[in-house]
């Protein structure tokens, strides 16, 4: 049954959709940066991954940053291997829509990536962003190292102080170890480059935190 369930409730792993063994097909290179989407991480570079609502708009903020080697959108944090978009939308995979960022920390810091994360979505909402509601829209930071975890926690505390001082509620974002990442289908990659007038529910927050 794909419909009639609460899409803001994580499915039981035993009831998750089975998925498939083969990953989905994607284009070899980033449409703007020209770098491999699924290539080896260059020496000295790191990976960051964020869930902040619909991944179409979220990815665009990151590919525009100097020091970002490549970006890709995909699914993470669920139970179904190599899921398809329609399966994720059903709420029966447990996956989140995420942006994966490969970056050079000598050019752009992890803290700067976090600044984008906090300021282009509403971190006080967990499994929704505006009218987008469901487990796939949860606000999460996926960390790859102790350094990233400590930086993310300090950043969360900083932004909570700023939000509280401006009359906003508690941050609902969770910080978790990075799970497996599954690439989304090719038509999702750099979606707003393919569709310049396409749907995007991200925007800079009215409250600035500089």
Q: Which of 122, 62, 101, 115 is nearest to 181 (CA)?
A: 101
118 vs 166: CA distance, rounded Å: 15
Which structure tokens are listed for 30?
A: 């980033």
Active-site residue, 205 included: no
Site of tokens 């509403």: 122
**What is the Cα–Cα distance from 11 to 97, expressed in whole angstroms?**
16
The CA distances from residue 190 to 30, 82, 163, in Å, are 8, 19, 31
Q: At 75, is the secondary structure helix, strand, or coil?
A: strand
| Catalytic residue selected from 54, 89, 200, 205 | 54
Residues serving a catalytic function are: 54
């Amino acid at each position: 049954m794909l419909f009639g369930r609460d899409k803001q409730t994580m499915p039981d792993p035993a009831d998750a959709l089975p998925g498939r063994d083969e990953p989905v097909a994607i284009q070899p290179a980033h449409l703007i940066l020209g770098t491999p989407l699924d290539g080896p991480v260059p020496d000295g570079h790191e990976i960051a991954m964020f869930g902040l609502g619909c991944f179409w708009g979220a990815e665009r903020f990151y590919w525009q940053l100097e020091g970002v080697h490549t970006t890709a959108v995909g699914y993470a944090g669920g139970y179904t291997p190599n899921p398809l978009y329609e399966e994720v939308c059903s709420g029966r995979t447990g996956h989140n829509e995420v942006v994966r960022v490969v970056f050079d920390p000598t050019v752009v810091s992890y803290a700067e990536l976090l600044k984008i994360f906090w300021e282009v979505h509403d971190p006080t909402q967990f499994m929704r962003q505006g009218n987008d509601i469901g487990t796939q829209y949860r606000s999460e930071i996926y960390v790859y190292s102790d350094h990233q975890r400590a930086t993310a926690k300090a950043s969360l505390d900083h932004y909570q102080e700023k939000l509280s001082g401006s009359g906003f509620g508690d941050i609902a974002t969770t910080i978790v170890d990075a799970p497996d990442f599954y690439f989304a289908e090719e038509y999702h990659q750099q979606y707003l480059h393919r569709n310049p007038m396409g749907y995007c529910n991200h925007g800079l927050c009215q409250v600035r935190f500089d």
